[in-house]
Amino acid sequence: MRYVYLVVFFFLFIACGGGSIGNNSKENIRESNITQDSSDTNISQEPFFYQQWYLDKNDTFYNQNSIDKDANIHPASLLQTYGGRGIKIAVIDDGLDVNHEDLVGAIIRTYNIANGSTNVAHTNFKDNHGTAVTGIIGARVNKKGIVGIANKAQIIFIKYKESMSDSETVELFNKAEEFGADIINNSWGTGDVSQVVKDKIVDLAKNGRGGKGTIIVFAVGNDNKDMANDESAIPEVISVGATDSTNLRAFYSNYGVNLDVVAPGGYYFGITTLDDMGNRGDAILNENYILYNDPNEFAGTSASAPIVSGIVALMLEKNPNLTRSEVENILKNSADKIGNVPYSSGRNNYYGYGKVNLEKIMNSI
Amino acid sequence: MKHILIIFVVFLQYGCASDNYYYQNNKKVSLSLIDSMTRGYSSIDYYKNERGTVLGVSDNLIVKLKNSKNLSNYLKEFDLKMEKSLGQNLYLLKTKDKSLTLNISNTLNKKADIEYAQPDFIKKNIRR
């Protein structure tokens, strides 16, 4: 009987919280998750966040450098709340430093079209384009470097070849589809898309993502010329032009009837982002990051496109059921009508529907 | 004299044998050959289209059929080899020689059960 009392007492002890070992350990785990999550979103602790003028307005930095007060994407506090959780973004580009300190935990799949391997390192020692683009989207909140817009999204990196056949380009998009990409960022183009590539992109934009449509973002190019028959001119893609720190169209940004929106791409002030680590890459002022004032700055519509891809990831985090055309309409309808070119029926050929505004975008979802 | 004649005929063959156009969205797009002197020595011929884009043409072509019923007949008729499927009714095919690619693509393009056919163009990707 004494043993029965002991057993009953023991069970009661465990079940009622006197068993603090069990409960506290669960609580500790939950607490540590919460702690980790909240520290993970404290973006102001990122050392170079203050100079990410394209994302947010740091008064001191803006005043010192005479940056237009509206040159950023108006994030409010949304970058603290949203990070693209559960969203997969494929970046198709020239190579990536997968071991970059600011991308730890970000990369889930890699593929190299040249040989079918998972090695996507840059072919040339000085190249850094794909790393820079990926950083703008997905750099983690880890008290290192910068903050990516979609810093909780999962990144798929697909390395292209400088010279590619149309069948290989189709294969790039097939791979992004196979890996489950919700968004595909393209900071490249050929200037003259073939019918087979166009068909593949249109099909994915209409039928990908389980019928909701994959969001395919293209940079429009930096030649101050009409987009003409470029990949970015396909109506089903989201085409992105560039603005600079004066909050006007960057002089190099291509234009045309199919331009959708513009986003910061920089010119005199570059876009602070990642360089390949160590002595690889091309940055001069810092080994691992391309700072806004680096002599080899990162600027162009290549920087504008990943800003929009990142924004789309936040939109899909808030509402994963948005279709491709709904995403496109929200981006267009909430854009700021900047610049000195008149807008007719809400758009013009140099700014598209205007500059993306994150606060307005998220408020309309 | 005989040698000069042979050289002349060879140049004529390379210069005139193949079509100098392709179809895009059922529109004819003109091509002009770049560097015809090296044409016989490379596996890719380079052309510039009327928009100024440099396009490489190899012995590969792409065909999109409305249905794949006649695929094997076309493979036989044009002596083509199947390389791989790129999607539904979309195939990468290989010709016997790069000099045949444009002609065969253009001929296939006119068939009623073919949506389109084009060389597997090689282009430069430009970082932006």
pLDDT in tens, A134-189: 999 999 999 999 999 999 999 999 999 999 999 999 999 999 999 999 999 999 99
* Cα within 13 Å of Cα(A8), Cβ side: 5
> How far B60 CA sits from the closest chain A CA (Å)?
9
Burial environment of residue A8 by CB neighbours within 10 A (0 to 12, 13 to 18, 19 or more): exposed
Alpha helices in A156-194 (DSSP H): 166-178
Nearest to B128 among A161, A222, A228 (CB): A222
Which CATH fold topology does A48-363 show? Rossmann fold (3.40.50)
Output B12 or A83, whichever has higher pLDDT.
A83
Mean of all residue pLDDT scores within chain B: 87
What is the per-residue pLDDT for A28?
34
Residue to substitute from B55, B88, B125, B126, interface A, most A β-carbons within 10 A: B125
* Domain presence at residue B11: no
Cβ-based contacts of A191 with chain B (< 8 Å): 51, 53, 126
- Residue A108 burial class via C-beta count within 10 angstroms: exposed 0-12, middle 13-18, buried 19 and up: middle
Coil, helix or strand at residue A124: coil
Give chain B's end-to-end CA distance (angstroms, integer).
Answer: 54
List the domain range (segments joined by +) for residue B22.
18-119
The shortest C-alpha distance from B11 to chain A (Å) reads 28
ipTM: 0.87
List the alpha helices (DSSP H) in B1-128: 2-16, 71-77, 98-109
B125 min Cα distance to partner chain A (Å): 5
Which residues does chain B have within 8 Å of residue A200's beta carbon, measured at their own beta carbons?
87
Q: Using DSSP, state whether B122 is helix, strand or coil.
A: strand
On whether residue B65 sits in a domain, the answer given is yes
Query: Which pLDDT band, with edges at 50, 70 and 90, does B22 fall under?
Result: very high
Interface test with B, best of A124, A128, A165 (most B CBs within 10 A): A165
pLDDT of residue B15: 47
Provide the token pair at A336.
């700021």
- The answer to whether position B112 is within a domain reads yes
- Under-50 pLDDT residues of chain A: 8-39
In sign, the C-alpha dihedral spanning A94, A99, A102, A103 is positive
CA distance A121 to chain B (A): 16
Name the token pair of A26: 């669960």
Contacts of residue A302 in chain B, CB cutoff 8 Å? 127-128
Q: What is the total count of domains within chain B?
A: 1
- Residue at B31 is within a domain: yes
Where along chain A do its domains lie?
A: 2-36, 48-363
Q: Residue A288 in contact with residue A278, Cβ under 8 Å?
A: yes
- What is the structure's pLDDT at A104? 97
Phi, psi of B91 (to 5 degrees): -130, 145
Which of B53, B86, B116 comes nearest A192 by C-beta? B53
Matching residue, tokens 């909430």: A334
Task: Give the helix/strand (H/E) hosting A185.
Answer: strand A183-186
Give the CA distances from residue A256 to residues A49, A71, A177, A203, B46, in Å, rounded to whole numbers and listed in that order: 33, 22, 28, 23, 28
What pLDDT does residue A253 have?
98
Residue A12 CB-half CA count within 13 A: 6
B78-106 per-position pLDDT tens digit:
999 999 999 999 999 999 999 999 999 99
Closest C-alpha among A71, A36, A215 to residue A142: A36
Cross-chain CB nearest to B53 (options A161, A163, A191): A191
Output DSSP code: residue A281: S
Nearest CA-CA partner of A188 in A154, A170, A162:
A162
Farthest-apart Cα atoms in chain B, separation: 55
pLDDT band at B41 (very low <50, low <70, confident <90, very high): low
- pLDDT, mean of residues B3-32: 72
Domain annotation covers residue B124:
no
Q: Taking CB atoms and an 8 Å cut-off, how many pairs form between chains A and B?
A: 92
Contact A332, A168 (CB under 8 A): no
In a domain, B34, yes or no: yes
Decide: helix, strand or coil at residue A191: coil
